[in-house]
Structure 1
Amino acid sequence: MPTQQDVLGYAESLSNWGRWGDDDQLGTLNHITDGVRLAAARAVRHGRSVSCAWEVAVPAEMERSTTACPCFADLPAAAGMPLPGFRNDRHWGYSLERLGLTFHGNTITHLDAPCHVFWDGAMYNGRPHTLVDAETGSAWAAVTAAADGIVTRGVLLDVAQVRGVPWLEPGDGVFPEDLEEAERRQGVRVRPGDAVLLRTGHGRVRHEGGQTGGVTQPGWHASCLPWLHERQVALICADSPQDVQPSGYDDLAMPVHTVGLVAMGLWMVDNCDLEACAATAAELGQWDFQLAVAPVRFAGTSGSPVNPIATF
């Protein structure tokens, strides 16, 4: 078990600063080469696709104002339309929404960009936190660095199943030996450029109406960070908000987020719903698949709500 000092040392020993150049903003997404994407395409054997995201609830997680207009021609604005069809068509109507949400947190499925977390005032590749502006967002390592999408081979490691429990309890950490035992039992191995999807069973707790909003949760233990670095993992996804809580370290609240995003440039998708993905993998006996994650191109933002799609 690494000590707190060991984990603090990961900021240097696992650092990818300068690895892909001083101006790199992709971080671990650099592991996803053209060859990795082609290999991901070959992982599609059945043509079945599964969402790995939660539905965003209204009004608990999102403010929404919806307008339904059964006949646009009845609106005052129709009279000023230059095209006569909009003034005369008595059949056409529409609905539209204005949405507002804070996607970071413990419920909405979202992608974290490297600029999401700072350590000693710095973010990935040594840039200062002052590059994040209240009006324009981040000028460095924002979610738009992944504008071309994240398409790679995904590997689901079902640690809850391996441990023979419906779910890991809040505060239960996942360790490298759990990951390797899942690989062994599932007959799969994580390769460079892969996305690793960690199932703790936290999603099942949510589906069954259990308490998930507290400060304790299952997740990656900091000891997994060297394993993720060595395997050259491009993206981590979990059915919890990633870090086990409590972390096990008095002075490190979220070491996986901190070392991962700041030192490694490791992108991550928090709060996935992996229940359907796990059921499909077990049914097909296939624990790898093509994973596609397409963030919305919000300029300067530290992440984006996403709907990761696993295609078997």
Structure 2
Amino acid sequence: MTTTTHWKQRPPGANWGDFGPDDQLGRLNWIDAQARVRAAREIQTGLSFALSLPLDVPRQPVLNPRRAGPVIRPSMKNGVPIFNFPLGNDTPGATDVVSDDVVTMSPQYSTQWDALGHVCSCFDAQGSGTAAPVGYNGFRVVGHQHAASDHFNGAAALSIDPMAQHGIQGRGVLIDLRHHFGDEARLVSFADIEAVIKADRIVLNKGDIVCFHTGLADIALNLSAQDDHEILKNSCCALDGNDPKLLEWITQSQVSALAADNHAVEKRNYTLKKDQGPLLPLHEHCLVKLGMPLGELWHLSILAKWLREHERHAFFLTAPPIYLRGMVGAPVNPVATV
């Protein structure tokens, strides 16, 4: 293992190197054995809430046209679909009936984690005077291809792998933006979050995973395949990544990760307000500078209702992503236990 850093200078506000020169886990390092023990104390009733949408929701691909919903089909054997297939067809007398299936989907279509390699930034990490794509801790997310074929093996660094191996179990904290601001489209600033935290008497601890409830996933879940899904583009709260005070709060809060039940946690910009900079400033701040994964399209509404009825905001969260090496985003079925 190398002991030298992958960079000569780091971006302003970045924590590169703080967890070691080869670290690819970021602020999830703060969720250690002691943090898990403390988080488990949030379990008081033993009730659990699954926080994933069905992975075919939204039922129309309107939020990101390059991502496709799942397609399920039976597996095949010698041209025959193996679904409700009597094994007696192959072995006379066998009573087994077998079904196998195959799924093709974009792993970031529905409830998912962004790995740290999902978004990088053009930055002169080597001090050479030339900016180049670089991610958290100075790593370059280079896709590696099998030399003897066209098979793409995914990211060589900053993939979902460290997150999946770590497990991601810790103290979750819900900030209920929907309760305070409703379902109208709204850019949420640091001042808004500060007001909600104060009103709901929310306490954040180092290493927490903060979940923002906006209601968008709930709206998506209740749309049929035939309904107009354009409403999802112009509804509910999204964090204002252009608010420098919000980004500073994320840094100072010492939380390990952010998740939301909306499309991207932050409101995506389609134009720049200055000559140069990120279209996704919160993604750059969290994924690139701080090593904080982002969860998107989690289904938080049922949990939010229960927590408010019981005057609570914290819970034990288990949220490991699917472990497929090389991916820069992966489905997850988070479970909150209260």
Q: What is the TM-score normalised by the length of structure 1?
A: 0.84
Q: Rate the CA distance shift 1:212–1:115 in 2: closer, same or farther, 3 A.
A: farther
Is contact 1:238–1:272 with CA below 8 Å preserved after alignment? yes
* 1:72-221 paired onto structure 2 within 5 Å: 72-75=87-90, 78=91, 88-90=93-95, 92-105=96-109, 108-120=110-122, 121-129=133-141, 131-134=142-145, 135-146=152-163, 147-163=165-181, 165=182, 167-169=183-185, 172-209=186-223, 211-214=230-233, 218-221=237-240
Displacement of 1:213 in angstroms is 5.0
Is contact 1:152–1:194 with CA below 8 Å preserved after alignment? yes
Q: Which residue is equivalent to 1:234?
A: 256
Q: Which residue is equivalent to 1:262?
A: 288
Q: Rate the CA distance shift 1:280–1:54 in 2: closer, same or farther, 3 A.
A: same
Same amino acid, percent of matched pairs:
25
The amino acid across from 1:310 in the alignment is A
Structure 1 segments of 4 or more deviating over 4 A? none
* 1:52-71 paired onto structure 2 within 5 Å: 52-57=51-56, 61-66=69-74, 67-71=82-86
Q: What secondary structure does 2:230 align onto? A: coil
The amino acid across from 1:192 in the alignment is K
Is contact 1:31–1:234 with CA below 8 Å preserved after alignment? yes
Query: CA deviation digits over 1:173-227, x for unaligned, max 9?
Result: 2222222222222222111100000012222332443535548874121232211
Q: Rate the CA distance shift 1:179–1:215 in 2: closer, same or farther, 3 A.
A: closer
Query: CA deviation digits over 1:213-253, x for unaligned, max 9?
Result: 54887412123221111111111100112111347853531
Is contact 1:217–1:245 with CA below 8 Å preserved after alignment? no
Displacement of 1:277 in angstroms is 1.3
Displacement of 1:14 in angstroms is 2.5
The amino acid across from 2:268 in the alignment is Q
Q: What is the TM-score normalised by the length of structure 2?
A: 0.78
Q: Rate the CA distance shift 1:32–1:212 in 2: closer, same or farther, 3 A.
A: farther
Q: Rate the CA distance shift 1:136–1:217 in 2: closer, same or farther, 3 A.
A: farther
Displacement of 1:288 in angstroms is 0.4
Higher helix share: 1
Distance 1:212 1:26 in 2: 36
- CA-based RMSD: 2.2
Q: Which residue is equivalent to 1:8?
A: none
The size of the alignment, in residue pairs, is 284
Structure 2 unaligned regions, length at least 5: 1-9, 61-68, 75-81, 123-132, 146-151, 224-228
